[in-house]
Amino acid sequence: MADADAIRDAGLPVSLGTPEAEPPASAPAPAPGASATAEMTLVDHLTELRDRLIKIVLAVAVTSAIGFYFTTPIIGLLVAPLPNEQLQFTGVGDAFFINVKIAIVVGIILAMPVILYQLWAFVAPGLTDDERRTVRPWIPIALVFFAMGVSIAYVIMPFAVQFLLQFSSQYLNPLITAGPYFDFVTMLFLVFGLIMEFPILLYGLSRVGIVTSKRLSDSRRMAILAIAIFAAAATPGGDLVSPFVLGVTMYVLFEGTIVAIRRSGK
């Protein structure tokens, strides 16, 4: 005890049993599961994406089965623009695969509400409340635009077919096979339906500040040129009717999108 008192009197800290001898508190070490938590969040995100895609595939499968059941009357509608409403096929399994192809396209069209909802449900958690309120009304609008595109394709299909067939002559006798014809028709429907969604893309880009109504207005000439080139490249068949109608429709939607973005304050 005397030695300890002498050390204390000398102003030196006692190494045992005193607060002065305790080492300074160090910063807490990072939790060992911190990186695992971030990795788990990514895994959960990918798992949700997988689940959404599975639901989309199942919805398309169910609606494709419905489409397959009605392929005969659907084919009757699609071949109506042809002179004798008849098509030939050369392979033994061609008729079956054509029916499957038509059923899948019909399934995609019928399942579009489910597809749009699943995409929205996947994206919505990453948005703020204001962004969700802004984007949510555009989901049913996207469905309307898709249906409008498919309807326009159905209306112009006879004119496109007649335009292409008018170049036949005594030297060029049309022998139309089912495969290429239905490739042309189904691609026409899908292209028109999907292209009608581009106003929603422009509006979404305006909400994050990438484009503005003024910037789109100033780029109108370039937009018209881009629409003309895209409409000519995207439409199948090589006719003049479908790219003209698609281009005019896209331009009208482009102008309408500028008005919608301007009214939103962007």
Question: What one-character DSSP code corresponds to residue 88?
Answer: B
Instruction: Tell me what the mean pLDDT of segment 221-225 comes to.
Output: 86
Question: What one-character DSSP code corresponds to residue 20?
Answer: G
Hey, what amino acid is at 217?
A: S
Instruction: Give the CB-side neighbour count of residue 15, counting CA atoms within 13 A.
Output: 1
Report the range of poorest mean pLDDT among 25-39, 114-128, 145-159, 209-223.
25-39
Domain boundary assignment for the chain: 52-263
Higher-pLDDT residue of 121 and 40 is 121
- Is the pLDDT at 30 greater than 60, yes or no? no
Cα–Cα dist 206/200, whole Å: 10
State the burial class of residue 250 (Cβ atoms within 10 Å of its Cβ: 0-12, 13-18, 19+). Answer: buried
Instruction: Tell me what the mean pLDDT of segment 124-134 comes to.
Output: 75
State the burial class of residue 178 (Cβ atoms within 10 Å of its Cβ: 0-12, 13-18, 19+). Answer: buried
Give ∠ CA 111-143-259 in degrees, rounded to 5.
Answer: 165
Residue in 115, 104, 82 with CA at minimum distance from that of residue 186 = 104
Give ∠ CA 202-205-210 in degrees, rounded to 5.
Answer: 120
Residues contacting 100, CB < 8 A, separation 6+: 68
- Is the pLDDT at 24 greater than 60, yes or no? no
Task: Give pLDDT tens digits for 35-49.
Answer: 333 445 777 778 888
Which token pair is 169? 């002559």
- Is the pLDDT at 149 greater than 50, yes or no? yes
What is the reported pTM?
Answer: 0.67
